[in-house]
């Protein structure tokens, strides 16, 4: 085992958080901003990249940080280490309604490919890298489909799915086509590609975008019913666009007045 062996417990239903139990000296890594709470005695430190190559010199650290920039994430991650003699706990919360998926990488061949914004936390030693889609053209037009994250190691990792989670096992040769944003994670043996929707009318008026992901088995696929991009676009579309002049009860102006803001 190269990764720290951490115990965990997931709490909640739709707004979940994962509580990780750390033995003395154990460390967990997480995305910045995902911390919910932690016991006294846990040291919190910001590191370049994912913290898995801290012994690889400056170049290794820069490469790890550069990979995170390509996936749209921060240059840094945060580590949480138990420096006391007893067991300590640290908890990480999901960013929006959905489910937290615990993945034991040792049970999936040491590698999982996931959506670039799905990673939440992992045991120290898990490497968070990038997985390029083979066709460069789909990267510029396929939305979430081009650059994905790959989690490598033999420890626990936690990813987040929006809405309802669906896990499907694909048989050899079985094909599943899904919206690119709804794909959460796949095992490394799943063949993954992006295809353009055939038919101009479907692309322009179907409301499902121009591309979808085509997955070919064997392997396991995790799918989310509510990707954050879809949730954000619906919220933005429903928000009143008043230019800041309306004081309607349902608008942002009413909320601004309630909070005691001064418009002048």
Confidence band, pLDDT 50/70/90 cuts, at residue 90: very high
Alpha-carbon span 66 to 49, nearest angstrom: 8
Residues 6+ apart with CB under 8 A from 137: none
Task: Write down the mean pLDDT value for the chain.
Answer: 79
Q: What share of the chain is helix, strand, coil (3-state, %, to 5)?
A: 20, 40, 40
pLDDT attached to residue 144? 44
For the record, the structure tokens of 140 come out as: 């510029």
The CATH number for 7-240, chosen from 3.60.160.10, 3.40.50.10800, 3.90.1150.150, 3.30.499.10, is 3.60.160.10
DSSP β-bridge partners for residue 158:
102, 121
| Cβ atoms of residues 143 and 179 within 8 Å | no
| Cβ atoms of residues 124 and 90 within 8 Å | no
User: What is the helix (H) or strand (E) element at residue 148, kind and residue range?
Assistant: strand 147-152
pLDDT attached to residue 210? 66
Distance of CA 206 to the CA centre of its chain: 27
Tens of pLDDT along 137-189? Answer: 444 444 444 578 889 999 999 999 999 999 999 999 999 999 888 999 999 99
The model's pTM is 0.77
Instruction: Single out the residue of 264, 227, 230 nearest to residue 245, CA to CA.
Output: 264
Alpha-carbon span 123 to 191, nearest angstrom: 27
Confidence band, pLDDT 50/70/90 cuts, at residue 13: confident
Residues 219-244: what's their mean pLDDT? 79
């Amino acid at each position: 085992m190269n990764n720290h062996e951490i115990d965990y417990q997931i709490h909640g239903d739709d707004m979940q958080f994962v509580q990780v139990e750390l033995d003395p000296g154990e460390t967990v890594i997480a995305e910045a901003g995902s911390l919910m709470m932690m016991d006294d005695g846990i040291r919190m430190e910001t590191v370049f990249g994912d913290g898995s190559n801290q012994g690889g010199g400056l170049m290794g650290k820069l490469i790890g940080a550069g990979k995170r920039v390509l996936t749209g994430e921060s240059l840094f991650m945060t580590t949480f280490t138990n420096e006391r003699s007893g067991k300590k706990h640290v908890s990480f919360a999901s960013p929006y309604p959905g489910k937290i998926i615990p993945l034991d990488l040792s049970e999936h061949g040491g590698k999982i490919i996931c959506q670039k914004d799905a990673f939440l936390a992992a045991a120290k030693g898990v490497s968070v890298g990038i997985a390029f889609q083979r066709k460069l053209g789909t990267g510029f037009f396929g939305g979430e489909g081009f650059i994905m994250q790959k989690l490598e190691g033999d420890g626990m990792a936690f990813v987040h799915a929006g809405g309802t989670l669906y896990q499907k096992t694909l048989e050899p040769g079985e094909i599943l086509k899904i919206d690119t944003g709804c794909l959460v994670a796949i095992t490394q043996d799943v063949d993954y590609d992006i295809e353009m929707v055939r038919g101009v009318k479907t692309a322009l008026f179907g409301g499902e975008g121009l591309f979808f992901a085509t997955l070919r088995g064997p392997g396991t696929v995790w799918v989310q019913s509510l990707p954050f991009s879809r949730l954000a676009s619906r919220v933005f579309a429903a928000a009143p666009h008043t230019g800041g002049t309306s004081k309607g009860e349902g608008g942002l102006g009413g909320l601004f007045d309630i909070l005691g803001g001064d418009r002048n």
